[in-house]
Structure 1
């Protein structure tokens, strides 16, 4: 078993990026294997290096953090993307989670919090900065009739599939995780979304936040 988590850092501020690299390299269970200053370069280097976790700034030149995250989740889903941003608006958070990020940390957070977030997402869980998790959970998804949607409407399998969708896992990865066929996972996904009146992955993420599925990893 590898002793250290392999981390990639993408941020367009050299001083911040250098400080982040120094801090993470000092952790006994982490090593920074690469870095980039713009989104397009970050995507290419992550595809080449295949780190365990890519820490990606939301606002970068060339390609936004959201677009970079979408491409990385599509082309190398095994890499966990942790969004890092100065923005605390829930719209940014929902956008990155919908793009496939496994977590979201604000830049004003303590360095120890970032290290914890990296460990959480590397373990296959979802991490939300404590300062933004509360407002997000309070943002409720509603059914077409106007009332809140109930988790009890879902079967256990449908709920589990939607949880993993919300955490950014691809259908093939979910099938492997649950020891199911890809078509079976697609069926559970479609049935669950139909029952809840959800049309997009972003709505699944918001529903998961409402239900507390993503809170605390």
Structure 2
């Protein structure tokens, strides 16, 4: 089986070497290149064509959020997995809206890091538990229990939510379910309304947290 080709991006050399050492122990993952900022990451991506980019947010010249937008535009086939110390909700949502496939914190275990890389490489999404909890923190008003919210969704809405969380477009979901794109869009709006969410990033994080994918 071919190894998952990873581009590692972090502006702290010691930190980057530590993560590279972690991944070098894995039989199914290979770090083929490194970069210290988003601009260099894009150049290396063009040269090495990695499967997954494991990237920090705070970096000089071009940060991870901006770089993620460029990856989505110029290298849509390359999956971006954010690996950072920032657990700020705004950062998380900005990066996911920019096109990242996952978000994990630097404190996660080597095993979870590998799981995240494998998940996004296979076309899925991945959030570590703390990130998912941060996205759904509700400091002002208590929210309904997750199961109660889930039961408010119809079976078809749950199916659509699962497909959305996997990063599929409304057109692709419509083809797979045998319904119109307009119907899928209606389901998506209904789901957002029922869950009181405004973005695809929030829906994705919710689906991951509730183990729908």
Asked if Structure 1 and Structure 2 have the same fold, meaning a TM-score greater than 0.5 normalized by the shorter chain, the answer is yes
- Correspondence for 2:79: 80
> What are the ranges of 5 or more consecutive residues in structure 2 without an aligned counterpart?
none
- Correspondence for 2:53: 54
1:21 and 2:20 aligned: yes
| Offset at residue 152 of structure 1 (A) | 4.8
Q: How does 1:71-150 map to 2 (within 5 A)?
A: 71-139=70-138, 150=149
RMSD: 3.6
Q: Which whole-Å CA distance do the structure 2 matches of 1:40 and 1:159 have between them?
A: 39
1:175 to 1:117, Cα distance in 2 relative to 1, 3 A: same
1:35 to 1:117, Cα distance in 2 relative to 1, 3 A: same
1:8 to 1:87, Cα distance in 2 relative to 1, 3 A: same
Is the Cα contact below 8 Å between 2:163 and 2:173 reproduced in 1? yes
- Correspondence for 1:45: 44
| Offset at residue 135 of structure 1 (A) | 4.0
Of 95-104 and 177-186, more deviation after overlay is shown by: 177-186
Q: Secondary structure at the match of 1:19?
A: helix
| Offset at residue 80 of structure 1 (A) | 2.1
- Correspondence for 2:200: 201
1:45 to 1:163, Cα distance in 2 relative to 1, 3 A: farther
Is the Cα contact below 8 Å between 1:98 and 1:166 reproduced in 2? no
| Offset at residue 104 of structure 1 (A) | 1.7
1:203 to 1:106, Cα distance in 2 relative to 1, 3 A: closer
Q: How many residues align?
A: 210
Q: Which whole-Å CA distance do the structure 2 matches of 1:68 and 1:107 have between them?
A: 19
| TM-score normalized with structure 1 length | 0.72
Q: Which whole-Å CA distance do the structure 2 matches of 1:125 and 1:177 have between them?
A: 16
Is the Cα contact below 8 Å between 1:24 and 1:30 reproduced in 2? yes
